[in-house]
Amino acid sequence: MGEDPNREGLLETPKRVVKAFKEYFKGYKEDPNQVLDKTFGDVEGYDDMVVQKNISIQSHCEHHMAPIIGKAHVAYIPKKRVVGLSKLARVVEVFSKRLQTQERLTMQIANTLMESLDAKGVAVTIDSTHQCMTMRGIKKEQATTVTNYYLGQFKEDLSYQNRYLRFISIAKE
């Protein structure tokens, strides 16, 4: 880069970078299925969708190691048991803290929720900005990427997809 590595401001930079990378990529040491181990059956037969929206995402693209910043929206339809609400965001966090493509990230979250929760259906949407497009290359600062992945009833029944999409588009007041 042309910098002097012995300059005062850079002397501790290698240590700081290592510490930052451990935080950025801590998802490799976490098991998303373990996050979903504890479920609750005392929900009096609740069997409609549970939607959690606006879960912040900070990840890194595997092609440039540049940040991906955005929001995830997650829904599932329980069979007999539900999971604590924070666990949905934790699963998003585990997979986000790895080198990613947004497409794979969306599918990993959905597949894990479907399998671990034995859900009737799962929907995941991610809307994010890729810094590899905003800060370099094509430099389109306003461009966002949206990915969706549907499983079970969300894939088979468009009425579930439509309800889910309406729920996640409702503006916060």
The residues that are catalytic are 61-64, 102, 130, 132
Q: At what angle do helices 85-96 and 102-117 cross, to 10 degrees?
A: 140
Of 15, 83, 98, 6, nearest in space to 46 by CA: 83
* Contacts of 33 by beta carbon, 8 Å cutoff, 6+ apart: 112, 115, 116
Dist CA 107 CA 60 (whole Å): 16
Q: Is 95 helix (H, G, I), strand (E, B) or coil?
A: helix
Burial (CB count <10 Å: 0-12, 13-18, 19+), residue 96 = buried
